[in-house]
Amino acid sequence: MVDTDNDDLKEQHRFDRRPLYAEIFPQGGKPFRILGLHLKSKGIFEAYEWSKWWEKADANRKKILAQATQIRVKFLDPFLTDSTTSRIPLIVCGDINDGPGLDACEKRLFGSGVERLMRMIWKPQLCLGNALFDTLSAKDKEEVDFSSIYTTTFKDPIFNDTYQREWIDHILYSKNQISEWVTGGQIHSKMPDGTPIYTRYKHASDHFPISVDINT
């Protein structure tokens, strides 16, 4: 139950795909935990009258925001504050179906899913880092320019099938470790031999895989 539209009424949402939580025990390293997510898609794949299209777009964003809020309030905040887990390294990753910044729908809701997961700046000890953001140049970080990062492309039927590039897959990590333990974020669009992934595995995914180096 989350008030996703600031009307003082809590809406009820459910997970289309349940989060997956696991603990990893690397040989010779410190255990860490992973929360794998696949939040609600905001894609609209049918033709609708314009006002109906916006209604569905808003509903999708509300669900993403509600799912991210539930994860943050019910899992992440307790994990990062409870004495039994607060020092355990944690990764939150997957297809969040949302990127940084606010689109037209999110501006009406005053929030985005990925930024809800990463947490507000007023409690920095509860914030999560973003491995792909870490790879940006100093200039792009200073200007908060994410345009070089995209993990999926698609034809936009509203704009004459123009290809859009979106950053909606993330690897987030806890900052409860003394040293940098998640580094080397990469987006993989090609196989090791240089062949584009989509030419060899056309139906594997409509997203590019991303990876990081983990040092525990």
Q: Along the 216 residues of the chain, how does pLDDT read in single tens digits?
A: 666 666 666 767 778 889 999 999 999 889 999 999 999 887 777 778 878 877 888 888 889 999 999 999 999 999 999 999 999 999 999 999 999 887 887 888 888 899 999 988 888 889 999 999 999 999 999 999 999 999 998 877 777 778 888 999 999 999 999 889 999 999 999 988 889 888 888 888 889 999 999 998
Query: Which residue segment(s) compose the domain that 114 sits in?
Result: 20-150+169-181
User: Whole-angstrom Cα distance, residue 43 to residue 60?
Assistant: 8
Q: What is the pTM of this model?
A: 0.89
120 SS3 class: coil
Q: Measured between alpha carbons, how far is 89 from 105 in angstroms, rounded to an integer?
A: 34
Residue ranges of alpha helices (H) inside the chain are: 50-71, 77-81, 104-109, 113-118, 138-143, 197-200
Query: Is 163 contained in some domain?
Result: no
Instruction: Kindly state whether residue 210 falls inside one of the protein's structural domains.
Output: no
Taking the C-alpha atoms of residue 23 and residue 31, their distance in angstroms, rounded to an integer, is: 7
Residue 197 lies in a domain: no
Residue 198 within any structural domain of the chain: no
Domain count, the chain: 1
Using the CB atoms, write b or e for 41-66: b if 16+ within 10 Å: ebebeeeeeeeeeeeebbbbbbbbbb
